[in-house]
C-alpha cells in the first residue's frame, strides 16, 4: 500500500493527500514533522535525506518533494496527466508558480497571522506579505477568468499545487480584496469531497 509520511497540516503534504484521494488510492498517512517530530530519525533520513515531509513509499519506490510526488502519482495512474505536452505544461506552470512566486510572497502573512500569537506579530511584515500575495493572486485571477482550472479545461496538477495555499488564503482572519474568479474556483474545489478531506484540515 502507498505510504505517505507527513503531518496533515502541511500544505506540501495536503497536496499529495488530495491527489491520492482524487485517484481513489489506498494509502496510509503516517504523521511526521511539526509537533510529531521524527524528521531526524535515521530510519526516515534513510528514506529522505532532505529531512522534510512529504515522502512516499509506493511499493518500494521512495520519492520526496511534493510536486514531484503529485506528478508521479498523476502519471502512474494516467489521470490528471494530459498527453499533450502543451496542455500538461499549463498545470506545470501554475505548479511552479505556486512554489516559486506565490509562496515567497505569502509566507509572511501565513506564518504571521496563523502561526504567530497576536502579541508577537510583525504587522508591517504581514502587511507587506499580504500586499505581495494580492499582486500574485491578481495574475491567477486573470488566468481563472479565461479557464476553469489551473490546469486548463480540467482539474489537474496546477490545482493540486495551489489548493492548500488557497485554503490558507481564505482562512486568513483578515479582509481580502474581491477576486471573483478565484472565489469561484475555490467554491468548486471546496465542493469536492477529496478536497475537503485532504486540504481542509486544522491549521495548527
Kindly identify the residues of this chain, within the stretch 63-122, that bind ligand GSH according to CB under 6 A.
Answer: 65-67
Beta carbons of 66 and 15 less than 8 angstroms apart: yes
Question: Quick one: which segment of 41-49, 50-58, 127-135, 179-187 binds ligand GSH (CB under 6 A)?
Answer: 50-58
Q: Residue 48, interface with ligand GSH (CB under 6 A)?
A: no
Number of residues engaging ligand GSH in binding (CB under 6 A) = 12
| Residue 164-183 contact track with ligand GSH, rule CB under 6 A, x = bound | --------------------
Stretch that binds ligand GSH, among 21-29, 60-68, 106-114, 191-199 (CB under 6 A): 60-68
Does the protein bind ligand GSH through residue 34 (CB under 6 A)? Answer: yes
9 binds ligand GSH (CB under 6 A): no
Are 115 and 204 spatial neighbours (Cβ–Cβ below 8 Å)?
A: yes
- Distance separating alpha carbons of residues 62 and 94, to the nearest angstrom: 25
> Does 158 contact ligand GSH by CB under 6 A?
no
Dihedral sign computed on CA atoms, order 153, 154, 157, 163: positive
Q: Does 154 bind ligand GSH (CB under 6 A)?
A: no
Angle between helix axes 103-114 and 123-144 (nearest 10 degrees) is: 130
Q: How far apart are the first and last CA of the chain?
A: 28
Q: What CA–CA distance (Å, rounded) separates 201 from 198?
A: 7
Interface residues with ligand GSH (CB under 6 A) are 10-12, 33-34, 39, 52-54, 65-67
Amino acid at each position: 500500500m502507498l505510504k505517505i509520511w507527513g503531518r496533515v497540516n502541511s500544505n506540501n503534504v495536503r497536496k499529495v493527500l488530495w491527489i491520492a484521494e482524487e485517484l481513489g488510492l489506498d494509502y496510509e498517512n503516517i504523521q511526521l514533522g511539526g509537533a510529531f517530530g521524527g524528521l531526524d530519525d535515521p530510519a526516515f533520513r534513510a528514506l529522505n535525506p532532505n529531512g522534510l515531509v512529504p515522502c512516499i513509499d509506493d511499493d518500494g519506490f521512495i520519492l520526496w518533494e511534493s510536486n514531484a510526488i503529485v506528478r508521479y502519482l498523476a502519471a502512474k495512474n494516467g489521470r490528471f496527466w494530459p498527453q499533450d505536452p502543451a496542455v500538461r505544461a499549463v498545470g506545470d506552470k501554475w505548479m511552479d508558480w505556486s512554489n516559486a512566486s506565490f509562496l515567497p510572497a505569502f509566507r509572511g502573512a501565513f506564518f504571521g497571522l496563523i502561526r504567530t500569537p497576536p502579541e508577537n506579530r510583525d504587522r508591517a511584515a504581514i502587511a507587506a506579505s499580504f500586499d505581495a500575495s494580492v499582486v500574485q493572486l491578481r495574475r491567477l485571477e486573470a488566468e481563472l477568468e479565461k479557464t476553469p482550472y489551473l490546469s486548463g479545461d480540467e482539474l489537474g496538477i496546477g490545482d493540486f499545487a495551489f489548493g492548500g495555499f488557497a485554503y490558507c488564503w481564505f482562512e486568513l482572519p483578515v479582509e481580502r480584496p474581491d477576486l471573483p474568479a478565484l472565489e469561484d474556483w475555490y467554491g468548486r474545489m471546496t465542493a469536492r469531497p477529496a478536497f475537503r478531506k485532504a486540504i481542509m484540515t486544522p491549521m495548527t
